[in-house]
Structure 1
């Protein structure tokens, strides 16, 4: 899409946040800069970087409202077998959750636009910054490294929805990799070429963030890590390597993170979801949400209105040890006669649904490494060790399992589903492993109960607005079946 103006302040992003079905915060932005304007110091670039992070809170990305939103927070679980739509739903998501979408779907175009808006802002932060490298090399490295990592990460997120075969050498079509602000016309590269852009940016970011003027996040504090540092880059790499099926590299990147970030003690695990700083809370990267900035999970359970649009499916709900697994009490609550998702009730004792979105946690690194090990011959014991380590941290009195082969693979897949429940992974996990998605309790609101591997709906259509606006993307570049 074409972007003429770039938002550079937190207030600008807040203006678009919906906090309930009827309330919209309407705030005029403090600063809007024409994209042709140039920055005059590294402090200007610093401000632009803050604005880039702020846009992750948009209702089409990690933010949620009572309309189709939360494309990379709760939507991948809503579209999967983890959740079941209830009679309390306002039906705002019906096309997406029933996999019945077309190129003119407004929610899909909204996500595409929101993602490329973040990329555009990152490119503004990068444009011309090399001229100021000598002003303060450490500050230059810190700003540029984060902007490059953001650009890579958002392109990766887009690839997950809009590309089919995600293998590192795939010749199927990927997503336009935009490296300049207001780069309107750019053809769809292959998935392999998109991966090249992602990994190149992450490699550069990693090199830059190794030599900065100050610590990016508070050293040793894993309860709020709102910016991307070296640990975060390695975590993003681990995720990208797993998706692109580069398993040796995934093990290396995940190990780097695991060696630096501890799993939370069982007694402080619940503090993660209340955004409380109690011991180590194992966060690698989170997006802060505060009053007036929206909420990341209202689409599933609108806490302040006590509306449960989606409940946990009976299949996934029944997989937890309800007595000994700390995740059960942390993820679910009984409200009246309903079992609701309570991971995102609010900070501390609040129940307003305003909590930070947990983008990456170290537990995912254990699961990435375990899955990668099962794809490297002779490493089942290493995979089993990671699985047992995570379960021991979560389940009181856990007796380590002894598993090999397919049984081990199935156990890791199940543990990933339980651990990362409603954290934006399930739809993509089933997709990237070429499995069928079957809803065990489809319910009256779902009209589609199964999605077989190879169905067109695993890949979203390129929005018609992009095809109209982009001279280098034509109808023949659309994803198959649309």
Structure 2
């Protein structure tokens, strides 16, 4: 856990193969790309810690949580369990970067092995993954733009090598992220989700189907919107978010697909710009969101503070009543895996989805950009509310826009890891649910592994 960056290259999932034969065929490149996504699904990354686990705890989303997270909840990052968890995140994300870099290092010399548009799509996804992973490393370990864009942060690693890359400033890392995303989009202009080309199971065994579980063209546009908002470039953030919205590729969940508790689209999957396919998500949901003492849960009173209407689809359909510790606790349902209603199987398109980018976020980005450019914030906020079964906001309701945005965002993405990043991006002095001085204590910047600070020229991100 305390290894230096050289060891990022040594930790590989079972699907990864060191032999260069992996990169001698198109199927090998497909497997290598799948390997990067596979790393991301692990519990020490987006399969738990960077969604409902550590990041959910740091954002004070849970009233009940496993005892292993007591120190995390109090922001005692120096304690053993948080330190091990944080180091695993650092090493895991850079391991995924290393695997993406290895693919990118090999792909141009093997262009002839690809059929159709697979070269462009695979290279585009690998570039986007490198950007996605670095941006989250920055959001975890670097300062925010709101704090100091010139503060030294993390290295941006662009080669598969044991050599140590230099630290870069927050501004430099964001620039590199946007550079990779721009390059990615040029390749992903051949993505079927963008071109509109129909793909069937008979086309390359359906390889280019199910684009929402890949960093597709519009997911990259959505990520661009997120990054531009981070650097307060409101014009570009609004433009990118609008392109995603206006594409019409992502549909709001229908209430009719939520009412049958045995057949419900619990994660609102039609709205995912990008989600991971976590094949063991059902067992994780059963382990971490069920009726026992050591699970993540929210009190009924907290939820009622989140959702002003009991008719809100999220309140109605994404939580279940607790048993065991207290029947006043409510457990998140969005990751439960259902069996169907006895005559019809639960739709495959709903299964195993861990959302990392949502359609609703694009509307929140648009609203925030309009707020800072004297535009109409209500239309964007109310579009989401309309599709959640709650009444529209009026002008008088958005006088304190920052508080309204936080409220709207919090109830939308609970258990998805984004709330902590929202607090950090705005450098808010308080996280709801704790009295900690989050700015004074440096809560928003996780400590880098001690071994990394021994690299020549590196300085503490704190």
TM-score normalised by length of structure 2: 0.83
Matches within 5 A, 1:361-440: 361-376=358-373, 378-379=374-375, 381=376, 383-396=377-390, 398-403=391-396, 406-440=399-433
Matches within 5 A, 1:55-74: 55-64=39-48, 70-74=49-53
3-state SS of paired residue (1:457)? coil
**Distance apart, 1:101 and its partner CA:** 1.1
1:479 matched to 2:461? The reply is yes
For structure 2, the 5+ residue unaligned runs are: 200-207, 341-350
3-state SS of paired residue (1:133)? helix
Residues 257 and 296 of structure 1: CA distance in aligned 2, closer, same or farther (over 3 Å): farther
Q: What does residue 180 of structure 1 align with?
A: 159
Distance in 1 between the 2:210 and 2:263 partners? 10
Give yes or no for contact 1:436–1:453 (8 Å, CA) kept in 2. Answer: yes
Q: What does residue 129 of structure 1 align with?
A: 107
Give yes or no for contact 1:388–1:401 (8 Å, CA) kept in 2. Answer: no
Cα deviation, 1:299-319, whole Å, max 9, x if unaligned, reads: 8x3438685344258445423
Matches within 5 A, 1:30-109: 32-33=17-18, 39-64=23-48, 70-85=49-64, 89=66, 91-102=67-78, 105-109=83-87
TM-score normalised by length of structure 1: 0.79
Q: What does residue 15 of structure 1 align with?
A: none
Among 220, 226, 233, the residue aligned to 2:220: 233
Q: What does residue 145 of structure 2 align with?
A: 166
1:267 matched to 2:260? The reply is no
Count residues with an aligned counterpart. 431
Among 165, 177, 184, the residue aligned to 1:198: 177
Q: 116-125 or 355-364: which moved more?
A: 355-364
Give yes or no for contact 1:224–1:286 (8 Å, CA) kept in 2. Answer: no
Q: What does residue 202 of structure 2 align with?
A: none
Distance in 2 between the 1:270 and 1:342 partners? 16
RMSD: 3.4
Distance in 1 between the 2:268 and 2:16 partners? 38
Distance in 1 between the 2:303 and 2:436 partners? 16
Give yes or no for contact 1:284–1:361 (8 Å, CA) kept in 2. Answer: yes
3-state SS of paired residue (2:181)? helix
Distance in 2 between the 1:272 and 1:367 partners? 28
1:142 matched to 2:126? The reply is no
Distance in 2 between the 1:296 and 1:262 partners? 27
For structure 1, the 5+ residue unaligned runs are: 13-28, 65-69, 441-447
Distance in 2 between the 1:346 and 1:413 partners? 26
The structure carrying a bigger helix percent of its residues is: 2
